[in-house]
Structure 1
Amino acid sequence: WCGGRVHLEAMRFSPAVDDYRLTLFCDRLKLAELLDQIGGLSAEGGGTVSGRIPLHYRRGRLAFNDGFLFSSPGEGGKIRLAGLERFTAAIDPQTLEATQLALASEALKDYEYQWVKVGIDSKNEMLALRLQFDGKPSGPLPFVYRQELGRFVRMEDSHPGSRFQGIGLDINLRLPLNRILEYGDLMKRLESARPAQPDQEETTAWEAE
């Protein structure tokens, strides 16, 4: 899955049971594919993440419970991320929150990171995705710091902008969980792990690539 390996420990599946709590152990998932699958974002670039994702699978629906994935120590990468702009549509552009998200969106269009951590949780059928990066954008950003305002402001295209030597990003996104999963293949893989015969019960260790 997502160009890496995912497995869970041996557990008993029964056709009479449709409620499971399990943990996916993830090894070297491609970051760009992961963000495309569960974040609904358009992503390109290199780098991998590993970690664990606790799941609650009930009646064909998934919920995440405080999952985390992180890059290997000393292994950075580059990410080009598009689609964050739509999260600012309902935010007053004059607020600090809108400015911070706009700056992060511009930075992640071409960003070289030293490390990355992805937090995955859900509540009330909404996916809570936390993206933490440490690194720098590859080029200047169309923002300058205004001392009198105490924050960055976006500049016109003709302005050279600012070049950041280092910038940490901490982004929290909320997305409709099951609508996003319909476009990925994690649900299909979990469904395939269950016994096909109505009178069959089995214990299995599931692994996906």
Structure 2
Amino acid sequence: MQIRTIPCGPLQVNTYIAYADHQQNAVVIDPGDPAPILQTLQTHGLICEAILLTHGHFDHIFGLAGLHEATRAAVYVHEADAVMLGDSNESLAIPFAGIELPEVQADVLLRDGDLVQAGGLLFRVLHTPGHTMGGVCYLEEAEQAAFCGDTVFFESIGRTDFPHSDPALLIRSIQRKLLPLDDAVALFPGHGNPTTIGHERAFNPYFQIGGSLL
């Protein structure tokens, strides 16, 4: 699997372009700004087949409308966060950035356990609510990699002081969906550096079984 990381948008979200080796089609995960994404696709001779959203906060969908207009790729989001693609208050674009984003309709509404096949890859959807109610991680089991949005960061987790966030629920999501994964699984978060399940199991307090936040 090839992964291109593009920190972009107003909050420098990690936009990922992922695709199988020797594959022209690719997936774009959490488009923060269409311009550098489209440039990267062109540079590497790639076609955006699908746009996968880990959740609906504005920084993760800031470039969604522009990318969708340019590529007409199918948009995937968990059903609980779909409203954010058309409501700039729900996505926090108005409260936090004072802007209104263009509405985009999702093509596929996801649920826990769904499979997404695109870019020559096969992702299993792990519903990990807490940061938002529709937060997900996209696990590519054969490649031992998960794109985890703002569920988990390097030695930390996503904020839970937003409307509809739930700290206890986020901890349960991590314990139930991420802790069982193999230590070798790489985690590609929405902000900051990549990490692994093994590193987080050892150093992230929120991964500790029986922790006080459970």
Would you call these one fold, judging by a TM-score over 0.5? Answer: no
Higher helix share: 2
Select the structure that is richer in strand.
1
TM-score category (smaller protein): under 0.3
Q: Which has the larger radius of gyration?
A: 1
TM-score (norm 2): 0.21
TM-score, normalised to structure 1, is: 0.22
Higher relative contact order (CA 8 A, sep 6+): 1
